[in-house]
Structure 1
Amino acid sequence: MRNLILGAAVALATAFGALVSPGTAAAAEKTFIVVTSDDPQTQAMAMILGHQAIGHGTEVRVLLCGPGGDMALKGAEMPTLKGPDATPQQLLSGLVKKGATAEVCGIYLPNSTHTAEDLIEGVSPVKPPVIGEYMAQPDVRYFTF
C-alpha cells in the first residue's frame, strides 16, 4: 500500500511540474506587436522588445497603424536613439531580417498618399480579416504601443 501511495504521489508531482514549468503549451508561442504611436522612443521600445522575443524563439508579428505606419515609409526621417544607437525604422528592419513579419494595417495606405511601393523592404499591407484570424489564436500574446 505504501508503494502505491508513493507512486501516486510521484506521478502527481510529475504531472503538476509539467503543468507549471516554463516552455509548456500554456506559454505563448507568438508575439503580436501593434504600433500606433508616432513617438520614436515608443516605436523603438516596441521593436527592442520584439528583438527580445524573437531572440527567445518566439514568432513575432508587427502591425503598424496610423502614425505608427509612418515608420515603414522609405525615407522616413527619424532620430537615432541612444541605447540602441539606431532609428525605430532600423530596428524594424533588423527585426524583419531576423524573421519577424511586419505589416501596415489595411486602412493605412488607402487613407494616405502612399502606396505599397513606398514601404521599406520586408513590410507589406495586410487585410483586417487576416489580422483578426491571427489575433484569435490562443497562443498569441498581444501588445500595443
Structure 2
Amino acid sequence: MTKFSIKTTLTAAALGLAAFAGTAHADEADTLVTILTAPEAQTQMMAMVLTMKSAEQGAMPHVMLCGPAADLALKEAPESATAPQKPLGVGPQQLMQKIMGLPGAKVEVCAIYLPNKGAGPEVLLDGVTVAAPDAMAAAMLDADARMSF
C-alpha cells in the first residue's frame, strides 16, 4: 500500500468514525453513571475527565465513589486526590467538584465507605452524599443510563 492510499484510508476511517460519533451523540443517554474504585490518581482523573466531557455533551453525571476512590470526597483528602495532573493542572478532586457544580449532578460515596472508615458524613465535602444501595441499583439499571469506569 502506498503512503497516499494509507493516508486516504485513515482519513476515510476517521470521517466514518466522526459521522458515527455524531449519531451516537444524538442518541446519548440522559444519565452517565460513573462508579469509581481505583486508587491511582491518573485513573481517578481520567474518570473525572470523561464524566465532565460526557456532561458537556448532554449527559447527567451520577458519580459513585467506593474504596480508595472515595477518598476524593473527603474534606481532608490525600495528596493524590488534590495534586495537579497534566495537562489540565488540576487534581481529580478539583475536577470532581466542578462536576458537582453542574445542575442535577450527583456525587456519592458507597454505603459501606464511611462505616468501614470509622467516620460519619461530616468528613465529606459539602454536596457529597452517601449512596442508598436500592437507589444506586435503580440508577444502574435505568434504561436511559450509560455506565463508565
Aligned with residue 129 of structure 2, among 111, 124, 129: 124
The CA deviation string for residues 51-87 of structure 1, in whole angstroms up to 9 with x for no partner, is 1011111111000001110111112123211111011
* 2:102 is the alignment partner of 1:101: no
Alignment correspondent of 2:3: none
Distance 2:35 2:144 in 1: 16
Structure 2 counterpart SS, 1:120: coil
* 2:26 is the alignment partner of 1:28: no
Mean CA deviation greater in 34-43 or 113-122: 113-122
Displacement after TM superposition at 1:143 (Å): 1.2
Alignment correspondent of 2:92: 88
Give matches, 1:3-18, under 5 Å: none
Distance 1:141 1:104 in 2: 19
Structure 1 counterpart SS, 2:100: helix
Alignment correspondent of 1:43: 44
Distance 2:56 2:130 in 1: 25
Counterpart of 2:139, as a letter, is Y
Structure 2 counterpart SS, 1:114: coil
**Residue segments in structure 2 that go unaligned for 5+ positions in a row:** 1-22
Alignment correspondent of 1:137: 142
Structure with the higher helix share, 1 or 2 = 2
Number of residue pairs aligned between Structure 1 and Structure 2: 122
For the aligned residues, what is the CA RMSD? 1.2
Sequence identity percentage: 35
Counterpart of 1:113, as a letter, is G
Higher RCO (CA-CA < 8 Å; seq separation 6+): 1
Counterpart of 1:90, as a letter, is Q
Displacement after TM superposition at 1:113 (Å): 2.2
- Tell me the TM-score normalised to structure 1 length: 0.79
- Tell me the TM-score normalised to structure 2 length: 0.77
Distance 2:122 2:88 in 1: 28
**Which 4+ runs in 1 deviate beyond 2 A?**
none
